[in-house]
Chains A and B, each alone.
Chain A
Amino acid sequence: MIEIRWDWIGEHLDDVADKTWQHLQLLVIPMLAGFLIALLLGVLALRRPGTVGPVTAITGLLYTIPSLAAFAVLRPIFGLSLATAIIPLTAYTLLILYVNTVAGLRSVPAEVNEAATAMGYSSASRFWRVQLPLAVPLIMAGVRVAAVTTIGLVTVASIIGGDRFGGLGQFITEGLQTSFDTKVYLGAVGSVMLAFIVDILLLGTQRLLTPWARARALST
């Protein structure tokens, strides 16, 4: 039914490495950009709570657009440059990262904020040393969801990306076009594995960043 030609994969390991590397680039660049934007908007939400509704609505609207359409609309504008992939990928991270950043920052109890102020923290140092660290669990939960989502979307970008971008998804699309099952499954299984590995690494990062969560779990 499905014939996998392992010898072909063995001969193309360089290609696998290149496409995995591009997949990671298309993960990290949009995630960093999206995180920066979400953090700024999150700080804005603390100062101006009225912005939460509109920002959630706009990021939600962007998120609703099926990704193939988003990549397709930029293709005639940016051609096969990476911007065609990076702009929609960044937009798709925003809703998840923003909602979780706001929820995380708001989860800090008012007493804690007041205690920090009473101890002499300026509002900036209070943000960096009290509010942000306490928001980390929820922010990281958002980062994990956004990361696996982005890895999946990069594979979709390959439909638009020709031979230029789409990470491991390029194997899928090229395999479909040439009816070569080995390539299709290499891309599909590869991107699934990448998603799992990144998710586990981020879970580990979350544990490292919040040692107190583990200590608390152990003590109760």
Chain B
Amino acid sequence: MSGLEALLAYLTDGGAWQGSAGVPSRLVEHLVLCALAVLTASLVALPLGFYIGHTGRFQVLGLNLANIGRAIPSYAVMVMVFPVALAAAAPIGYDPRLGLTFLPIFVAMTLLAIPPILVATFAGIAEVDRDVVESSRGMGLTERQILRRVELPLGLPVIIGGFRVATLQVIATATLGAVLSGGGFGRFIIDGLARRDEGMLYAGVVLVAALAIGTDLLLAGLQRRFTPRGVRVASGEEVVEAIGDLGSVAPPSLRRA
């Protein structure tokens, strides 16, 4: 039986779509875990990024921390966080019914999602033309108003770009979570390998890739939607330039899991 036939046989079998190990519940597991991690990471990264971007303070520190974060392989982060988070689960009153491995995987994913969002946020805000900021100040806007009405809308495409990177990272890392007996689509790959079930393995591959590509396209659409028209007209050439300027720091891709 060819791989494609095995895949189709697996996916058209009703059993693959039912129960706690079925595609729908694995999708929910994957999505909930990713959404929680990105949300928690942005609670940390957005305020910090706004502060660094607006004041221009600690930029070098922020870049260096993010660079260090980038250099650490996500699989390594996950396994190193694992025993620590597992030991911390009981003292912080974590309910083990949520799944023993949920907390460690969640913590690792959150840690991995912080650097891309942080860097994109402060880079997006710092890149806003300082003349524009000065003239807003001259017009009598308070610092808070400048951030909310001028810097945030102009920096939004770059910030959403950071969310794209973080989301991809998190989706891929959630897949790795299956190695630590976490849920999500990664289970199909790991279990498929273990049971030598090609159909299941390929189903996992297709589902994971579709989820990642679909989510990225959705965020790319949002990014375009929130690019102010004036900026959109000026882009094209500039997109590559912007990536070039931040080359050592933030190509479209801070890292990959």
* A-to-B contact residues, CB < 8 Å: 1-2, 52, 60-61, 63-70, 72-73, 75-77, 92, 95-96, 99-100, 102-104, 106-107, 137-138, 141-142, 144-145, 148-149, 151-153, 155-156, 159-160, 169, 172-173, 175-176, 181, 184-185, 187-189, 191-192, 195-196, 199
CB distance A96 to B251 under 8 Å? yes
Is there an interface contact between A138 and B80, defined as CB atoms closer than 8 Å? no
| Chain A residue at minimal CB-CB distance from B83 | A2
Contacts of A153 in B (CB 8 A): 73, 256
Contacting pair B172 A66 (CB below 8 A): yes
Interchain nearest-CB distance for B220 vs A (Å) = 9
Whether the Cβ atoms of A152 and B256 lie closer than 8 Å is: yes
Is B251 a contact of A145 with CB atoms below 8 Å? yes
> Given A72-B201, A152-B255, A176-B180, A187 and B76 touching (CB < 8 A)?
yes
Mark the stretch among B55-63, B122-130, B205-213 that contacts chain A.
B205-213
Known: A69-B208, A92-B256. 17 other contacts (CB 8 A): A60-B252, A67-B256, A68-B189, A72-B192, A72-B204, A75-B193, A95-B253, A99-B243, A99-B252, A106-B240, A137-B247, A141-B247, A145-B248, A145-B253, A152-B75, A156-B74, A160-B193
Residues 233-255 of chain B, each 1 if its beta carbon lies under 8 Å from chain A, else 0: 00000001101100110011111
Q: Identify which of A2, A104, A152, A191 gathers the most chain B CB atoms within 10 Å of its CB.
A: A152
Evaluate contact between B83 and A152: CB separation under 8 angstroms: no
Whether A192 contacts B76 by the Cβ 8 Å rule is: yes
What number of B residues sit within 8 Å (CB to CB) of A?
49
Known: A151-B73, A191-B76. A156 touches B251 (CB 8 A): no
**Are A152 and B244 in contact, CB atoms less than 8 angstroms apart?**
no
Min CB distance, A57 to chain B, in Å?
Answer: 10
Taking a contact as CB atoms closer than 8 A, the residue among A2, A137, A169 that contacts B75 in the complex is A169
Q: Which residues of A contact B252 (CB under 8 A)?
A: 60, 63, 95, 99
Partner of A103, one of B72, B213, B243: B243
Answer whether residue B139 sits at the interface, using C-beta atoms and an 8 A cutoff.
no
Q: Which of B56-93 contact A (CB under 8 A)?
A: 70-77, 79-80, 83-84, 87
CA distance A68 to B175 in the complex (A): 7
Give the residue of B76, B175, B192, B255 whose beta carbon is less than 8 angstroms from that of A149: B255
Name the contact of A96 in the complex, choosing from B3, B209, B244, B253 (C-beta under 8 A). B253
Chain B residue with the shortest CB-CB distance to A156: B75
Query: Closest Cβ of chain B: how far from A187's Cβ, in Å?
Result: 7
B189 touches A103 (CB 8 A): no
A4 to chain B, nearest CB (A): 11
Query: Closest approach, in angstroms, between the C-beta of A22 and any C-beta of chain B?
Result: 15
Q: Identify the closest chain B residue to A196 (Cβ).
A: B71
Chain B residue at smallest Cβ distance from A188: B76
CB distance from B49 to the nearest CB of A (A): 20
**Residues B175 and A69 in contact, CB atoms below 8 Å apart:** yes
Q: List 7 A-B contacts (CB under 8 A).
A: A64-B209, A76-B201, A77-B3, A96-B251, A152-B255, A173-B179, A188-B79
Smallest CB separation, B19 vs chain A (Å): 23
What's the least CB distance linking A201 to chain B, in Å? 12
Q: How close is A39's CB to chain B, nearest CB, in angstroms?
A: 16
Instruction: Please indicate the chain B residues that have their CB under 8 angstroms from the CB of A64 in the complex.
Output: 168, 209, 212-213, 216
B198 proximal to A (CB < 8 A): yes
Is residue B102 within 8 Å, beta carbon to beta carbon, of the partner chain? no
- CB of A171, distance to nearest CB on chain B (Å): 10
Which residue from B71, B175, B244 sits with its C-beta under 8 Å from A66?
A: B175
Q: A63-B256, A103-B243, A176-B180 are in contact. Are A155 and B175 (CB under 8 A)?
A: no
Residue of B nearest to A106 (CB): B240
